[in-house]
Structure 1
Amino acid sequence: MNNSNQSPNSSAYVSAQERLQSRLSKGLRKRHARDRRFRWYGRIAIIAGLSLVILLFGSILYRGLPAMWQSVVHVPVYFDPEIIEIEAKPEQRIDENTNDFNIRLLDWQKRLITQNWQGLLTQTIQNIYPQQHISARDVRSLFTRSAAHDLREAFIKNPDLIGQTAFMDLLTDANVDVWLSGNINRTLSDRDQQVSKSVRELADRLSHDGHIQKKFSHSLFSNTDSRSSPASAGLLGALMGSIFILIIVVIVSVPIGVASAIYLEEFAPKNRWTDLIEVNINNLAAVPSIVFGLLGAAVFINWMGMPLSAPLVAGLVLSLMSLPTVIITTRAALQAVPSSVRQAAQGIGASPMQVVFHHVLPLAAPGVLTGTVLALAQALGETAPLLLIGMNAFVAHVPSTPLDQSTALSVQIFLWQGQELRNFFEGRTASAIILLMTLVLGLKAFAIFLRNQLNKQWKGSNQ
């Protein structure tokens, strides 16, 4: 009787337990499925992001690396004394002072400028193909305008070349380089081509005979920008301008930013004023960079009278822009240091200054360094503030001081992208981007190296 009475209850209990276990198992399977989907979504997002980055860098490298090789005419140049009609280079006499000798030497160099160097180029090409009449106009279109200057400079360095033959590498014109590189449709009509038919035929013949070769473009990194000779335009002036700007940012922004963060985090009292300062610092980090350019133009140039297009002004403007980033990242690094470090230092009698600079700051140094390098990399790639202070001006010399007129790599990229000769400067723009990315990646690699060294030193000192 008892067994028969308990069986329905026990069976109902087992049935309820099975239903509960089934619901739990079903819910567990759903959670596991959601976890798996979430992990796959994350993997797909990472793969998509990496693919886009690889596509971006790949396209830049695909366009920029070939532009680092340029068409060069490798020809024997005979320095014909009938064309270069000038006496031997003057030498200083025993009874002549240095000032008089420099005057005679300068006069000799001035007379070299008036020599028919273009005629020497025409004769050089004519000697290669004596059976074909080569017009001076075609030769002028074949070479870049700096080719005659290169001949003159070679003769100034070695005046004994008169009456002798020397093999020289001379740059072709930008339009000829575009034609030989295949960056223009060869099936277009003569009216739509950038060079005449005779020049194209001459360039193709020289290339077929091995007189025109592709060589690494040293001028891209050793020359300044040029409007008269686009083929010889380079990035040296912009590179030096960017280096001067970075030096100013390091000198101004880093010490002020790190010191401000240390004071706000470790020494400043917690009241309404410090809260107001913290809020304003966070707001400044979100201000568009062009606003800092307007501030720099109004304060540093119009009010303080600093020189236009100078790396000093650009460095000060970018320092103001980088300060919030340096302060915020430094404070975050200081907050990441455990409070037990401060308490232990205070327990052994360290002063507040010693606690911060002997114990807290060394532990926070890797984070501080990472934030500083991020701010520098951001400043290196900024363009809008520099345009407003005149850094887009054409500068044909390499700046020697932060007060000289200059441009920057980011601005040079902007200027080259807008050039009319797009087929030629598109590749050079990508080359400039490669150089800019190399500097940024070099800064980050240097920061990682220093961070690892600081971590090793700190661990070694603790052991």
Structure 2
Amino acid sequence: MDVTAGGRVAKAEKSKLVKRRYAAERRFRLYGMAAIGTAVFFVFLLFGSIVNNGWSAFFQTKLGLTVHFDESVIDKSGKRDRMTLLTANYRKLAREALLAELGVDPANRPMRRKAEALLSRGAAIQLRNIVMDDPSVIGTTRKVWLLASGNADALMKGAIDRDVPESRRQLDNQQVAWLDELKQKDILSLTFNTGLFTYGASSQPETAGIGVAAIGSFFMMLIVVLLAVPLGVAAALYLEEFAPQNRWTDLIEVNINNLAAVPSIVFGLLGLAVFINFAGLPRSSSLVGGLVLTLMTLPTVIIATRAAIRAVPPSIREAALGIGASKMQTVTHHVLPLALPGILTGTIIGLVQALGETAPLLMIGLVAFVVDYPATPMDPATALPVQIYMWATAAERGFVERTAGATIILLGFLILMNSTAVIMRRKFERKW
């Protein structure tokens, strides 16, 4: 009886231990699920905040005005001289068209100024571009969709509260009434903002875009691909397949791993000292930015490539060498093709990191006010993350939505590149 009772007690204790173990496992799973849920919540909160602030940047308020391209204002002489056409008073043409639409007397200066405040300063540039592209429009009357001012655009998007007292509002009651009148006439409307993708830097939010920054980022990424990828893959192949194991190769490996953890701003200081001050390369150019990002990306490419090469089974090498292949043939014909999916994944991850970097580019002067598109990597340019940084520091209300809108575009590129890396790895990866 004592033995039986003792056995039952032992079984009961074991049962309690098992139950505690299962309970601990369930708690651990709950902790893991809670951690994942918290991370997902904050990711959605971040993306929700960005989209909520940035969706309006993809739309722009425009005024459809009937503009008379008066020859006496644009080119009195009729010679169609390029400089004369460039310096004509196109602002006057836009103002006269708006005053005529609103029925405002041009001699009434206070009302004229109120009405003119509804037009963007970029409206004159729009009319100038129309004339420069086709001088035959001079003397004709055409309906042109011109940009509204930042405050008018903000009111149409609901960013300016109509219920706020007039003294604290950017637009007074008369201007609000004019905008409502133009909207009822279908002269005022929200259209897709193509300028966000084509315009360069501007002090006015309605004429600011990421076009120049996108070209600058493209040139820099092209330089990174042409330099970091072949150099990184070649260095990884040598260290993994050919380099002898001694203190020098160990020192190189340690330094490569350390470089991957160096703050990015240090690479900016290096680029400023070497490429600009010593080599004399042009400041604020895509070439210098690409070289700095190449230095920053190289450790990532080397580490990822070495890991991919190391994952190829030794039996592949042994079989190739056994049938008479040389060391170089073994590496180029067998090891490298089998490691290619991992190499591509690591390379894309390195490019994603480089595309989103800001600090090193600020150090080499890419935080520049660039209006014209860069034709070559030697021309002044900026980059997409730097453009976002500059807009974030601007005081105007319209730049808030521009900042969030450009962030959406940048995140879209990053997500696309990361998704490409995952898809390529799953498609081409071989399991041994």
Q: TM-score, normalised by structure 1?
A: 0.86
Contact 1:180–1:204 (CA under 8 A) maintained in structure 2: no
| Rounded Cα–Cα distance in structure 1 between residues aligned with 2:89 and 2:275 | 48
In the alignment, what sits opposite 1:329? 304
Question: What's the offset of the Cα at 1:288?
Answer: 0.7
| Rounded Cα–Cα distance in structure 1 between residues aligned with 2:179 and 2:357 | 40
Question: What's the offset of the Cα at 1:119?
Answer: 2.5
In the alignment, what sits opposite 1:430? 404
| Rounded Cα–Cα distance in structure 1 between residues aligned with 2:51 and 2:370 | 27
Cα–Cα, structure 1 residues 264 and 82, in superposed 2: closer, same or farther, change >3 Å?
Answer: closer
Question: What's the offset of the Cα at 1:244?
Answer: 0.6
Correspondence 1:295 to 2:270: yes
Cα–Cα, structure 1 residues 316 and 116, in superposed 2: closer, same or farther, change >3 Å?
Answer: closer
Correspondence 1:141 to 2:141: no
In structure 2, runs of 5+ residues without a counterpart are: none
- The DSSP-based 3-state class of the residue aligned with 2:144 is strand
In the alignment, what sits opposite 1:6? none
Cα–Cα, structure 1 residues 406 and 114, in superposed 2: closer, same or farther, change >3 Å?
Answer: closer
Q: Which moved more, 1:424-433 or 1:172-181?
A: 172-181
Q: Which amino acid aligns with 1:359?
A: H
Correspondence 1:339 to 2:317: no
| Rounded Cα–Cα distance in structure 2 between residues aligned with 1:123 and 1:211 | 15
Question: What's the offset of the Cα at 1:448?
Answer: 3.8
Please identify the structure whose Cα radius of gyration is greater.
1
In the alignment, what sits opposite 2:351? 376
Equivalent residue runs for 1:43-442 within 5 Å: 43-81=33-71, 83-84=73-74, 86=76, 108-130=81-103, 135-195=111-171, 198-227=174-203, 229-421=204-396, 423-442=397-416
Find the partner of 2:7 among 3, 17, 23. Answer: 17
Question: What's the offset of the Cα at 1:196?
Answer: 5.2
Question: What's the offset of the Cα at 1:434?
Answer: 1.3
| Rounded Cα–Cα distance in structure 1 between residues aligned with 2:6 and 2:326 | 68
Contact 1:121–1:139 (CA under 8 A) maintained in structure 2: no
| Rounded Cα–Cα distance in structure 1 between residues aligned with 2:168 and 2:102 | 28
Q: Which amino acid aligns with 1:53?
A: V
- The DSSP-based 3-state class of the residue aligned with 2:117 is helix
Question: What's the offset of the Cα at 1:131?
Answer: 6.9
Question: What's the offset of the Cα at 1:295?
Answer: 0.8
Deviations 1:385-433 (A, max 9, x none): 0001000011111111111110000000000000010x21111101111
Cα–Cα, structure 1 residues 156 and 403, in superposed 2: closer, same or farther, change >3 Å?
Answer: closer
| Rounded Cα–Cα distance in structure 2 between residues aligned with 1:156 and 1:385 | 39
Deviations 1:203-253 (A, max 9, x none): 3332343211000111111111112x4311111000000011101111111
| Rounded Cα–Cα distance in structure 2 between residues aligned with 1:81 and 1:306 | 47
Q: Which amino acid aligns with 1:374?
A: I
Paired-residue identity, %: 45
Question: What's the offset of the Cα at 1:82?
Answer: 5.3
Deviations 1:76-128 (A, max 9, x none): 2233455445465x6xxxxxxxxxxxxxx5xx222224444223223212332
RMSD value, Cα: 2.3
Tell me the number of residue pairs that the alignment of Structure 1 and Structure 2 aligns. 429
Cα–Cα, structure 1 residues 48 and 345, in superposed 2: closer, same or farther, change >3 Å?
Answer: same
- The DSSP-based 3-state class of the residue aligned with 1:328 is helix
In the alignment, what sits opposite 1:102? none
| Rounded Cα–Cα distance in structure 2 between residues aligned with 1:413 and 1:142 | 26
Question: What's the offset of the Cα at 1:173?
Answer: 1.2
Question: What's the offset of the Cα at 1:298?
Answer: 0.7
Question: What's the offset of the Cα at 1:31?
Answer: 1.3
Contact 1:70–1:216 (CA under 8 A) maintained in structure 2: yes
Q: TM-score, normalised by structure 2?
A: 0.92
Contact 1:119–1:136 (CA under 8 A) maintained in structure 2: no
Cα–Cα, structure 1 residues 65 and 169, in superposed 2: closer, same or farther, change >3 Å?
Answer: same
| Rounded Cα–Cα distance in structure 2 between residues aligned with 1:179 and 1:148 | 22
Question: What's the offset of the Cα at 1:301?
Answer: 0.6
Cα–Cα, structure 1 residues 315 and 163, in superposed 2: closer, same or farther, change >3 Å?
Answer: closer
| Rounded Cα–Cα distance in structure 2 between residues aligned with 1:371 and 1:84 | 57
Q: Which amino acid aligns with 1:210?
A: D
Cα–Cα, structure 1 residues 86 and 157, in superposed 2: closer, same or farther, change >3 Å?
Answer: farther
| Rounded Cα–Cα distance in structure 1 between residues aligned with 2:379 and 2:86 | 28
Contact 2:345–2:424 (CA under 8 A) maintained in structure 1: no
| Rounded Cα–Cα distance in structure 2 between residues aligned with 1:377 and 1:114 | 43
Contact 1:85–1:115 (CA under 8 A) maintained in structure 2: yes
Q: Which amino acid aligns with 1:170?
A: L
